[in-house]
Amino acid sequence: MTEGNEQEIKAIVFQLREEEYAVSVTQVRGIERVEHITRVPQTASFVKGVINLRGVITPIIDLKKRFSMEATEFTDSTRIIIVYIDGMEVGLIVDAAYDVIDIPHDAIEPPPEVIGTVDVDYVDGVAKLDSRLLMLLNLEKVLSNKEIKDFQSVEV
Amino acid sequence: MEMNEYLEVFIEESKEHIQSLNDNLLVLEKDPTNINTVNEIFRSAHTLKGMSATMGYQDTANLTHQMENVLDAVRNQKLVMNSEILDVVLEAVDYLEAMVMDIAGGGDGKRDVEGLVKQLEAIENGEAVAVNSDSKTNTSVSNNSSFDQLDQFEITVLQESEEKGYHNLEVNVKLQDACLLKAARVYMVFEILEQIGEVIKSQPSVPELEEEKFDLEFTVLLVTQESTENVEKRIMKVSEIDKVTIKPFNVEGGYSKNQSDQPQPEQDGQVNNDKVAAKEQTTNNQTTTKAAVNNKTIRVNIERLDGLMNLFEELVIDRGRLEQISDNLKHAELQETVERMTRISGDLQTIILNMRMVPIEQVFNRFPRMVRQLAKDLGKQINLEVIGADTELDRTVIDEIGDPLVHLIRNALDHGVESPDKRLEKGKPAEGNLQLKAYHSGNHVFIEISDDGAGINRDKVTNKAISNGVITNEQAEVLTDSQVFQLIMESGFSTADTISDVSGRGVGLDVVKNTIESLGGSITIESEAGKGSVFSIQLPLTLSIISVLLVEVEKEKYAVPLSSIIETAIVNKSEILSAHNKKVIDFRGKVVPLISLKQVFDVPSSSDEDEFYSIVIIRKGDKMAGLIVDTFIGQQEVVLKSLGDYLTDVFAISGATILGDGQVALIIDTNSLIK
C-alpha cells in the first residue's frame, strides 16, 4: 500500500444502475446524503438543482441523466458526491457510493470503442479488478461548460 | 523581503497622496494664488519623494523631486502657477499614478520620466527667471500694506470672511492737522466701523491709539459687507477727518479680484513671506488636528471585512433556522431568548453593513480630473459641481458604479453641454454646468448627473427609433417624454450626428443601464430641450442582505425582492381579463399584465387551479406586472448568494438564498420578467 503511489491511483467507486464508476479521490470533496434539492428552472435537463452545502449553494447534476441512462427513484443508498473541478464545486447524484480503493495502473485499459449507451469521451479508461469492471471518469469532460452550452442551445 | 510588508503601506499611502495631489492641483487651478494649497501639494509631493526613495523606486523619486522643485518655486513666489505649468504637473501626477499602479501590480515601477523631468526643469529654470524679475519690480513699487504681521487666528477669520462673501478692507484714516481730541475721533471712527463690520486689527494698536500714541494716521483691517464707498462716506461723517483711503485687503497675498477705484500695488515681498510662514503654521496646525482624528480609525483589510460579512451571513441563516425551531416548539423561554438574539443580531447587521459603507467620494474624486481633460479635448468650458460626496454606499456597489458614471459624464459633456459659441448664441453663459449629486433616501441611494446643456431632442430620438425599427410611427405619437428618453438606453442608439472619440458609438447607455439593473438599481432620465437633462440613478444601499417576500408556487419557494414589489393582491378568477391573448387585470385603474410563475419556471403542476389568484404586483420603472403565485409565505431578511460559476445566466433568477429550514430558495430577478 505504502509504495503504491506511482503504480496505483486512489479512487472512489460509485454505482449508476448496474455499472460501477470511479473518480480520483483528489477531485472529491465529500459524499453527502440526498437532502432537499431546489430545482433551478430553465437549465439543462441533467441539472437537478441546487442544495445548501454548509452555507454554500452547490449545483447538483444527475449523472444518470447526464449519461442518458434511465432514471430510477432515490433510495436510501443514493448519495451526492461533491467534486471540485476548475474552482467549482458540483454535486453528482449516484445510486450508491463505496469506499476508496486502490487501482493499480496496469489494471487500467483504454476505453473500449462502445460501452453500452454511454458516449466514451468522458471515460478515461476501464479498470479490471477481480471480477469488477470500473469505468474511470474524466470529470472535466463530464462537467465541461462547452457541452452544457451546447445542450442549452439545442434545447432552445 | 522585509520590504514586502512596507510595500502595501507604501502603495496605499502613495495612492492617497496622489489623490490629494490631484484634488489640490484642481483647487489650485481655480485659485492660483492660494499658497495654502500649494503648500499642501508640496507636502504631498515631498512625502511621496521620501517614500519612493526609501523604497528604492528611483524614477518615482526623480519625478517627484523635480515636481517638488517647481512647487517650491511657486511656493516661494518665484513662479506663478498657470495652466501650462499645471498641465505638466498633472501629467507628472498621471505618471506617478501609473508607476504606483505598476508597483502595486508587482512591477518595478520603472518608467521613462526623463522627458517630463526636463519639462519640469525648463519650467523651473526658464520661466522662473522671467517671473522673478517681475516680482522684483513689484517689490520696488509696492510697500503699502501696514499689516505685515497677522497671527493665525486673524488669517483664519479673514479667510473665512472672504469665503462667506464679506470684504476685507484696509482702511486708512488721516485726521486733520488741527484735530485736538485725536483719541475721541479714533473712538468715533471705531464705533462706526463696529456698526458696519468687524475690526480685525489696527495699526497702531488700539491701546496706542487710545493713548494718542500716533501721528495723524491710523489704519484698520475691517471685515464688512458694505461697499468701499459706503464705508468711506460713513467715516467721513466724523468731523476733523482729513482723508479716508480704502483698499481691499487680500489674505492670500495675490491680486485681489475686486480692486477698488484706487488700484494699489499689492503687498511687498516681505509681507508675503511672513504670511507664508504664518500660513504654514496654520496648515501645520490643521494637519495635527487631522492626525488626531485619524487616530480614532484603523485600517482594516477589505478581505477581513468580507470574511466578517460572510460569517455574519451564516449567522443570519442560522438565526432564521432558530426562529423557525422556536416557533415550532412554542417554548416561552426559548422564544424570548431567540427574540433577543434576533434583535442583537439585527443591530450587529447594521454595524457590519455600516462598516462596509464607503463614501462615494472614492468614485467621485476621479471625475474632476476627467472632466477637466474632457472639457479641454472637446473645447468646452465646464464647471463641475459635486454634491454629497460623503454619501455612503456598500463597497460592492461602489466597485461597480464607477464605469457607468464615467459613461454618463462623458455623455453629458459630449452630447449634453454645447460648445461655448453655441451657448452664447442661446443666451446661456459660455461655461456649462455639470452637477454630480449623491444622496440617501429611504433604503436607496440616488446619484444624479445633471447638465444645463441642450437636453434631449425628442423628435431626434423618435425619428431614430422609428428608422431603427424600435417603435412605429403610431407608437411615437403616444409615448410620453420619459418613455422616449428611455429609448436612448436601448442598444445601438446614438443621436449624436457625428461619432466622436468621447462617446457616441451607440454602445454606451445600454451597458450603463444593464450594469445599474444588475446592481438592483434603476435609471431614469428627465430632460427639457434647451435647458438640460438629468440622469437619475437609484441604487440599493447594500447588495448582500436584502428583504424579500417569500412565495410558494406548488412545492417550490421563491423570493421576490421587496424593493421591486408594489403590493400584493388576491383577485377572483372572474376579474382576470384577456387582452391580445394575454391575461391582464385592472389594478387601481391600470391595466397590468399577469405573469404565471408556474409557466415561466415550468413548475410541475399537480393541483387544479384555484378560484382566487394570489398576485404580487412588481414594477420596473414605470412598468408593472403581476406575478401569479400560489401562496404568500411572508417577509424575511435573506442573504443573497450566487448560484456559482457552474450555473450562470439562469433566466429570471438573480441568485439564491438559504432559508431557515436549510433549504435553498431562488431569488427572482423581476427586471427580466418585465419587458
pLDDT of residue A81: 93
Mapped onto helix, strand or coil, the DSSP state of residue B436 is: strand
**CA-to-CA separations, B356 to B46, B397, B541, in angstroms, rounded:** 32, 10, 11
pLDDT of residue B3: 56
Mapped onto helix, strand or coil, the DSSP state of residue B421 is: helix
Q: Which of A27-31, A64-68, B258-262 has the highest mean pLDDT?
A: A27-31
Cβ distance A57 to B664 less than 8 Å, yes or no, reads yes
Which single residue is written with the C-alpha cell 410620453?
A: B480
Instruction: Compute the average pLDDT of residues B231-237.
Output: 80
The enclosing H or E element of B379 equals none
What tens digit of pLDDT does each residue of B34-84 get?
A: 777 887 888 888 888 877 877 778 888 888 888 888 877 877 777 777 777
pLDDT of residue A115: 54
Mapped onto helix, strand or coil, the DSSP state of residue B650 is: coil
Which single residue is written with the C-alpha cell 381579463?
A: B577
How many other C-beta atoms lie within 10 A of the C-beta of residue A97?
Answer: 20
Closest CA to B94 of B126, B58, B67: B67
The enclosing H or E element of A139 equals helix A139-143
What separation, in Å, do the N-terminal and C-terminal C-alpha atoms of chain A show?
Answer: 51
Residues on chain B touching A153 (C-beta within 8 angstroms) = none
Mutation site, B599, B661, B664, interface A, largest A CB count within 10 A: B664
pLDDT of residue B503: 45
Size of interface A-B (CB pairs under 8 A): 71
Mutation site, A39, A60, A82, A155, interface B, largest B CB count within 10 A: A39
Q: Which residues contact B182 (CB under 8 A, 6 or more apart)?
A: B175, B212, B214, B216
**CA-to-CA separations, A109 to A100, B117, B227, in angstroms, rounded:** 20, 69, 102
Instruction: Give strand pairing partners of B246.
Output: B171
Pairwise CA distance, residues A152 & A144, whole Å: 13
User: Which of A55, A59, A145 has its CB closest to that of B643?
Assistant: A59
CA distance A92 to chain B (A): 13
Cβ distance A41 to B664 less than 8 Å, yes or no, reads no
Is B229 catalytic? The answer is no
The enclosing H or E element of B570 equals strand B565-572
Q: Which residues contact B278 (CB under 8 A, 6 or more apart)?
A: B150, B151, B152, B155
What tens digit of pLDDT does each residue of B16-33 get?
A: 888 888 888 888 877 777
Q: Check if the beta carbon of residue B488 is closer than 8 Å to that of residue B509.
A: yes
- Write out the three cell numbers for A82: 461533491
Q: Is the peptide bond before B265 cis (omega within 30 degrees of 0)?
A: no
Looking at B17, B36, B39, B68, which residue is catalytic?
A: B68
Q: Which residues contact B350 (CB under 8 A, 6 or more apart)?
A: none
Higher pLDDT, B361 or B129: B361
> ipTM score of the complex?
0.81
Extract the runs of DSSP E, i.e. beta strands, from B181-234.
Answer: 197-203, 217-224
- Structural domain of residue A79, as residue ranges? 2-155
Which single residue is written with the C-alpha cell 472619440?
A: B501
What tens digit of pLDDT does each residue of A75-128 get?
A: 888 999 999 887 788 999 999 888 788 888 888 888 766 655 445 577 888 888
Residues on chain B touching A143 (C-beta within 8 angstroms) = 646
Is pLDDT at B662 greater than 90 in this prediction? no
pLDDT band at B551 (very low <50, low <70, confident <90, very high): very high
Phi, psi of B538 (to 5 degrees): -110, 130
Higher pLDDT, B244 or B559: B559
pLDDT of residue B562: 87
pLDDT of residue B495: 52
pLDDT of residue B340: 92
Is pLDDT at B534 greater than 80 in this prediction? yes
Cβ distance B647 to A47 less than 8 Å, yes or no, reads yes
Residues on chain B touching A42 (C-beta within 8 angstroms) = 601-602, 650-652
Is pLDDT at A135 greater than 80 in this prediction? yes
pLDDT band at A4 (very low <50, low <70, confident <90, very high): very low
Cβ distance B602 to A42 less than 8 Å, yes or no, reads yes
A87 to chain B, any CB pair closer than 8 A? The answer is yes
The secondary structure of B49-108 as a DSSP string is HHHHHHHT-HHHHHHHHHHHHHHHHHHTTSS---HHHHHHHHHHHHHHHHHHHHHHTTS-
Pairwise CA distance, residues B576 & B613, whole Å: 9
Q: Check if the beta carbon of residue B76 is closer than 8 Å to that of residue B269.
A: no
What tens digit of pLDDT does each residue of B273-285 get?
A: 444 444 444 444 4
Which single residue is written with the C-alpha cell 427572482?
A: B668
Q: Check if the beta carbon of residue B296 is closer than 8 Å to that of residue B171.
A: no
Q: Check if the beta carbon of residue B124 is closer than 8 Å to that of residue B131.
A: no
Cβ distance A57 to B651 less than 8 Å, yes or no, reads no
- Write out the three cell numbers for B214: 500716533
pLDDT of residue B623: 81
- Write out the three cell numbers for B146: 501696514
Cβ distance A40 to B658 less than 8 Å, yes or no, reads no
Cβ distance A59 to B644 less than 8 Å, yes or no, reads yes
Pairwise CA distance, residues B549 & B634, whole Å: 6
Cβ distance B645 to A41 less than 8 Å, yes or no, reads no
Cβ distance A43 to B650 less than 8 Å, yes or no, reads yes
Which single residue is written with the C-alpha cell 488741527?
A: B178
What tens digit of pLDDT does each residue of B391-429 get?
A: 888 887 888 888 888 888 888 888 888 888 888 888 888
Fill in the amino acid letter for B467: S
Pairwise CA distance, residues A139 & A123, whole Å: 9
The secondary structure of B165-176 as a DSSP string is T-EEEEEEEEE-
Residues in chain A: 156
Is B567 catalytic? The answer is no
pLDDT of residue B152: 67
pLDDT band at B144 (very low <50, low <70, confident <90, very high): very low
Tell me the CATH number at A143: 2.40.50.180
How many other C-beta atoms lie within 10 A of the C-beta of residue B133?
Answer: 9
Cβ distance B662 to A40 less than 8 Å, yes or no, reads no
The enclosing H or E element of B628 equals strand B623-629
pLDDT of residue B550: 92
Q: Which of B219-223, B466-470, B496-500, B626-630 has the highest mean pLDDT?
A: B626-630
Among chain A residues, the shortest Cα distance to B647 is held by A59
Number of domains, chain A: 1
Looking at B36, B39, B272, B411, which residue is catalytic?
A: B411
Is B468 catalytic? The answer is no
CA-angle at B453, arms to B451 and B457, nearest 5°: 115
What tens digit of pLDDT does each residue of B422-478 get?
A: 888 888 888 888 899 998 876 678 899 998 888 888 887 788 778 777 777 777 777
Residues on chain B touching A82 (C-beta within 8 angstroms) = none
**CA-to-CA separations, B594 to B113, B517, B559, B615, in angstroms, rounded:** 64, 22, 18, 8
Q: Check if the beta carbon of residue B322 is closer than 8 Å to that of residue B338.
A: yes
Mean per-residue pLDDT of chain B = 77
User: Which of B317, B650, B666 has its CB closest to that of A55?
Assistant: B317
Mutation site, A43, A52, A151, interface B, largest B CB count within 10 A: A52
**CA-to-CA separations, B90 to A29, B66, B125, B127, B366, in angstroms, rounded:** 53, 13, 19, 18, 13
CA distance B315 to chain A (A): 10
Among chain B residues, the shortest Cα distance to A48 is held by B647
The alpha carbon of residue B516 and the mean position of all alpha carbons in its chain are separated, in whole angstroms, by 18
Q: Check if the beta carbon of residue B42 is closer than 8 Å to that of residue B51.
A: no
Among chain A residues, the shortest Cα distance to B318 is held by A55
pLDDT band at A151 (very low <50, low <70, confident <90, very high): very low
pLDDT of residue B251: 67
Cβ distance B664 to A38 less than 8 Å, yes or no, reads yes
Mutation site, B601, B647, B658, B659, interface A, largest A CB count within 10 A: B647
Pairwise CA distance, residues B340 & B660, whole Å: 17
Q: Check if the beta carbon of residue B626 is closer than 8 Å to that of residue B616.
A: yes
Is pLDDT at A37 greater than 80 in this prediction? yes
The secondary structure of B280-333 as a DSSP string is HHHHHHHHHHHHHHHTT-----HHHHHHHHHHHHHHHHHHHHHHHHHHHHT-HH
Among chain B residues, the shortest Cα distance to A90 is held by B646
